Amino acid sequence: MGIFTAVQVDEHVKSLPEYMWSMFDIFIPMVVPTYTLVEVDIMSNDMIVLCTDGISDYIKPEEIKELLRLNNLAESITKIIGVAKEKSLKASQRYDDLTVVVYSH
């Protein structure tokens, strides 16, 4: 149900390659947040955009907003992924997971 015990986390971290598990003392608390429930009223023409850090590390929210075009949402998402991939490859010669989910009302 999305809840892990300290023992389960330790077991999973120890099973990762050494180059990954060493950063989990900092990383795990950032990615396993306290559960929060927020209710938001969605109005006509509003969008909810969810993306992975492979996107948000390289594209600012304002840029994402500019790239999203309601008249061609699929093309806009493809463009966002392409821009993030290009920027991440320039910065580190590789890219993280690149996922964008958009809900348009």
pTM of the entire predicted model: 0.62
Alpha carbon distance 89, 84 (integer Å): 8
pLDDT in tens, 64-103: 999 987 678 899 999 999 999 999 999 888 878 899 999 8
Torsion sign across C-alpha atoms 14, 15, 18, 19: negative
pLDDT in tens, 13-43: 777 766 665 565 666 666 666 666 778 898 9
Question: Which strand (E) or helix (H) includes residue 41?
Answer: none
